[in-house]
Amino acid sequence: MTAGGAVPGPDGRLRCPWGLSTADYVTYHDEEWGRPVHGDDALFERLCLEAFQSGLSWITILRRREGFRTAFDGFRIASVAEFGDAERERLLADEGIIRNRAKIDATLANAKLLAGWAEGELDELIWSYAPDPETRPAPRTVADVPAVTDESTALSKALKKRGLRFIGPTTAYALMQACGLVDDHVRDCVSRGGGK
């Protein structure tokens, strides 16, 4: 075991060190992070949550995810695109989410924009930036995991060019990690390669 490499959990299985810091993280690490996510609404949810996470710890978002899902009607693009001033004011007062005006406004604006896209267009665009896994060696430690890549920078630029907001290169890379476009589980982690 290398410093920052996989560490044994209570069940003896090796995991990424961050995946053992709380019970919430163990479940998220083992069952979600790095697993492929497809579908426009599902990717819209992850895009929104990653934007809300900017400047905060992921555990803050993870623990409020059900509140976010309730507040944003399950992150159904067509539904959120219909939100008006009353819904915006409700969101700004909702203690179950992060009440950041700029992030709420970006979510609403992004939904309105995406509602005009063809079905599957967001999924296709995001996944077109997935790098070839053969070109990415498994990170030995968490120190080997980048915060930004050429692909995340290009994805951020592509999304911004199409009018989406609050999606910089770091947020784009976190999205890529969370949605399985890249596998950044450390080399000896039980979840590396989707937990095979």
Binding residues for Zn(2+), by number, are 16, 29, 185, 189
Q: Is 173 a catalytic residue?
A: no
Catalytic residue among 58, 87, 117, 127: 58
Catalytic residue among 18, 25, 33, 50: 50
Cα distances (Å, whole numbers) of residue 186 to 36, 95, 131, 148: 17, 35, 17, 17
Q: Is 25 a catalytic residue?
A: no
Kindly tell me the sign of the dihedral angle through the C-alpha atoms of 172, 178, 183, 186: positive
Contact 91, 99 (CB under 8 A): yes
Binding site members: 16, 29, 185, 189
Residues 137, 73: Cα–Cα separation, whole Å: 39
Catalytic residue among 28, 33, 129, 173: 28
Terminus-to-terminus CA distance in the chain, angstroms?
A: 20
Q: Give catalytic residue positions.
A: 28, 50, 58
